[in-house]
Amino acid sequence: MSALEVGQVVAHKTYPLTRDSLVRYAGASGDFNPIHYRDDVAESVGLPGVLAHGMLTMGTAVQPVVEWLDGSGDDAGVIGWISDYQVRFTRPVVVHPAEGAELSVTAKVAALDDEAGTARVDLTVTVDDKTVLGKAQVVVTLA
């Protein structure tokens, strides 16, 4: 754990979300609420457009931490695992029919607990420079 420092960015990645992404997620999750694929229904209930599923957004947002921990892209191997993950949904992710949306995630070490062998990693998750997940925190247990 000594290699980690509070304030260190451990991952940054951008993920495209498209209407196709929403259809695939709906099929995998069984969440076929029409606000996730029909503009007319989304607008009829006062939404600004079709929204990404909250759990799709949450799951995508933690992916850079997963890749960092499993050593993807380097020879270090597994350096830890996620032991807790929590978020607050602060803004819906509107997925434009043609342009989609781009989810940007930055993961930064916020706290270290040498005794427990854990680190808290805070996520900054934005779409169009607007935060969509607040208090997004991942507790990782380091191998």
Q: Which residue has the tokens 């380097």?
A: 74
Domain ranges of the chain: 9-17+52-142
68-89 burial, b at 16+ Cβ within 10 Å, e below that, comes to bbeeeeeeeeebbeeeebebee
DSSP-assigned states of every residue in 14-60: EEEE-HHHHHHHHHHH----GGGT-HHHHHHTT-SS-B--HHHHHHH
The maximal CA–CA distance of the chain, rounded, in angstroms, is: 54
| Fold classified for 9-17+52-142 | Thiol Ester Dehydrase; Chain A (3.10.129)
pLDDT at residue 105 in the model: 98
The structure's pTM equals: 0.91
Task: Give me the chain's average pLDDT, please.
Answer: 94
Nearest partner of 106 among 13, 16, 4, judged by Cα: 13
pLDDT, one tens digit per residue, over 73-112 is 555 678 899 999 999 999 999 999 999 999 999 999 999 9
pLDDT at residue 74 in the model: 59
